[in-house]
Structure 1
Amino acid sequence: MLYDDFWLTASDAAPLYVNRWYAEQAPKAVVMVSHGMAEHGGRYARLGQALVAAGYELYAHDQRGHGKTAQRGVLGMYAENKGWQRVVDDLANLNHHIRQQHPNVPIFLLGHSMGSYIGQAYLMHHSCSLQGAILSGSNYQPVGLYKAAASIARFERWRQGATGRSALLDFLSFGSFNKAFKPTRTKFDWLSRDPQEVDKYVNDPLCGFRCTNQLWIDLLEGLQQITPVNQLKQIDADLPLLVIGGSRDPVSDGKRLEDLTAALREAGHRNTLLKIYPDARHELLNETNRDEVTTDLLGWLDNALSHSRRSHPETQEPA
């Protein structure tokens, strides 16, 4: 396996840091990752190794406000304005870059947690650029809940400023996640049953930080956009979709993944598969059963590669 990193210029000229895992021979398909909140693309190296061994290639960029991309911005903040649209457009730019490097090679999207929401927004406008998509550790809540939370986030922005980091928002979002796992060893036991993986996260200076008020506003407004079934109908109904999560993930608790899958199917996406892993927590790829999860992902990717797509991904341009 080979590794490379580079800076990709986004549509608004912002620099994005990108990790790439690959082999010398051409891949049968490429996977691009949209990572979660308060983490970064470098954490997907183990997945990259497994994908490369199976004939795939992996690109994982550090989203705005995250990882090394944040070195040229603000940690925990997408942008001063239009942050949600910018992170969605970044996926289009990465897809276009991959298409330039690998013309006519199928591309998959893997979105985890926050990245799954950004990924859904991307799918609504760029489904034809992909062979399939995986939504990991996702969620599905009533739009009214997101509206109420956005009102609180806007109040906190008024109180602290856009770059303020609200303890209230942190408590309302993450404050209860560890309760089901008492007695707890760290604040992040809800991520995985594997204490070594939790420690890696805790000891990573680019993980676990508190995001800004502006990012929360951007995210919650984005969630309001992607949640209605009428919006989900914008995703190409022919696109293979895989929804995965752990039954003890406090973000989704299994039930919310079922709700998401039901909403996608109601929107006409019959080629949607749901897989919930018993007792697993939020980060399936860092869980004690990660080998099982990875094997399942590779099997789904291989199967989705055989699916004949009606669209023409090589014609897709970034927004």
Structure 2
Amino acid sequence: MLWHFDYNRFPFLLKVCAIRAKKHTVICFALLLFELILFIFVSNLFFEKPLKKPVNAPRLDSNYFIASDNAKLPVRTWFPDNHPVKAVIIALHGFNDYSNFFNRPGNYLKDFGIASYAYDQRGFGNAPERGYWSITNVSTRDLTEITQLVRNQHPGVPLYLLGESMGAAEIIVAMTRDNPPSVDGVILSAPAVWAWESIPWYQRTGLWLANQICPWLTLTGASLHLVPSDNIKMLRELSRDPLVLKKSRIDTIYGLADLMNHAFEQANQMAKLTLVLYGERDEIVPERSVYRMLKTLPSNREWHIALYENGYHLLLRDLEAPIYWRDIAAWIDNPLRNLPSGADKRAATFFCGRDIHEIDGLTTLSFLHECVI
């Protein structure tokens, strides 16, 4: 059903465009642009993609997570070889990535008795609707469902969610909904939190118009010249990996921006035990956005902050990634202890301007709120 503006019902508009046509070219163009925008707005109301309803109970096997709407999402797992399972992680990948992002961390953590699961989210990797954005209600429902399935397979074992970038944003949104995943704690690596208001108005407007007019247009981001990691070998492998998306549709970029805004706004509602990992050399998510998010959190939240001097956006795959993996294992073992790397103390020196040797306690939000955060 197409919506059409009937000029015959408003003859004065035709006269405006007919009289002195050259002089009124701008007015005519503005009216046509108004009609186009109004058409886009109304058509979006009629043609918004419906949420698929659950048709079956979700299930999990060794290779796939089958969601309640029968979507088949590939799963990778890493289990301890000669150790009992002491804890379990469900890992969510970032934008244009897929479950293989956790291969090295998963193999490392299993030696500490930590089992890991990672799955290709819809639109990425080998999951359905590759290259297309999945609405947040669906992605959070997937996370809640697989969390319950993993919980059932490991009863009585502490369960954690770990998200990288976009995956971290999805965890924040899922954990602040009415039916959040049942977990014992959350790990956010380079969380993609970025409020719409922090983006210049002309960029917001341009992205909105592009999303309405040409959502199918694809961009690469190569012209931005951003460095996501110091691990050049890993970056070259990603560039050759056919399951890593190299181009992004405008509507997926818009969906990501909207998700980041929701994560920023809702982070202060997440009360779970949380470890935040952030690198000082992150060129993808601005430090001001992460610090603004931390500043909005109540001081009584059990959030443990780690700041890595040589860390980039893809922390878990950087050259110094084993240091960060060790911190994750140590935090899971005892969240009340300082991290082996000292990155939590570094966060305190950054926020408080104090000498690192003067800091004895944990760098939690209660500590940071006493300083400048």
TM range (shorter): 0.7 to 0.9
**Separation in 2, partners of 1:282, 1:89:** 26
Asked whether 1:76 is paired with 2:131, we answer: yes
Asked whether 1:158 is paired with 2:158, we answer: no
Asked whether 1:96 is paired with 2:127, we answer: no
C-alpha displacement at 1:29, in angstroms? 1.2
Cα 1:269/1:205, change in 2 over 3 Å:
farther
Aligned partner (choices 163, 167, 176) of residue 224 of structure 2: 176
**Separation in 2, partners of 1:63, 1:305:** 32
C-alpha displacement at 1:269, in angstroms? 4.9
1:105 maps to which residue? 157
Aligned residue for 1:215, secondary structure, equals helix
C-alpha displacement at 1:59, in angstroms? 0.4
Asked whether 1:43 is paired with 2:101, we answer: yes
C-alpha displacement at 1:210, in angstroms? 1.8
Report percent identity of matched pairs.
Answer: 24
Aligned partner (choices 115, 129, 148) of residue 167 of structure 2: 115
C-alpha displacement at 1:212, in angstroms? 2.2
Aligned partner (choices 257, 262, 275) of residue 242 of structure 1: 275
C-alpha displacement at 1:131, in angstroms? 1.1
Aligned partner (choices 17, 22, 27) of residue 79 of structure 2: 22
**Separation in 1, partners of 2:132, 2:78:** 27
C-alpha displacement at 1:272, in angstroms? 1.0
Gap regions ≥5 residues in structure 1: 179-189, 307-319
2:238 maps to which residue? 201
2:308 maps to which residue? 277
Gap regions ≥5 residues in structure 2: 1-60, 338-373
Cα 1:146/1:64, change in 2 over 3 Å:
farther
Q: Which residue identity is paired with 2:91?
A: V
Q: Which residue identity is paired with 2:321?
A: R
1:247–1:281 CA contact under 8 A, matched in 2:
yes
Asked whether 1:219 is paired with 2:263, we answer: no
Aligned residue for 1:50, secondary structure, equals helix
Per-residue Cα deviation, 1:26-79 (whole angstroms, up to 9, x for no partner): 41111001110111111211111112110011000001111111xx32x22134
Asked whether 1:7 is paired with 2:64, we answer: yes
2:163–2:188 CA contact under 8 A, matched in 1:
yes
Q: Which residue identity is paired with 2:70?
A: A
C-alpha displacement at 1:5, in angstroms? 4.4
Aligned partner (choices 176, 183, 199) of residue 124 of structure 1: 176
2:113 maps to which residue? 55
C-alpha displacement at 1:305, in angstroms? 9.2
Per-residue Cα deviation, 1:243-276 (whole angstroms, up to 9, x for no partner): 1121111123444332222223x3x553112111
**Separation in 1, partners of 2:99, 2:320:** 21
Cα 1:115/1:269, change in 2 over 3 Å:
farther
Aligned residue for 2:132, secondary structure, equals coil
Structure whose alpha-carbon radius of gyration is higher:
2
1:107–1:132 CA contact under 8 A, matched in 2:
yes
Cα 1:27/1:147, change in 2 over 3 Å:
farther
1:311 maps to which residue? none
2:334 maps to which residue? 303
Q: Aligned pair count?
A: 274
The TM-score, its normalising length taken from structure 1, stands at 0.77
C-alpha displacement at 1:102, in angstroms? 1.3
The Cα RMSD (Å) is 2.5
Q: Which residue identity is paired with 2:236?
A: D
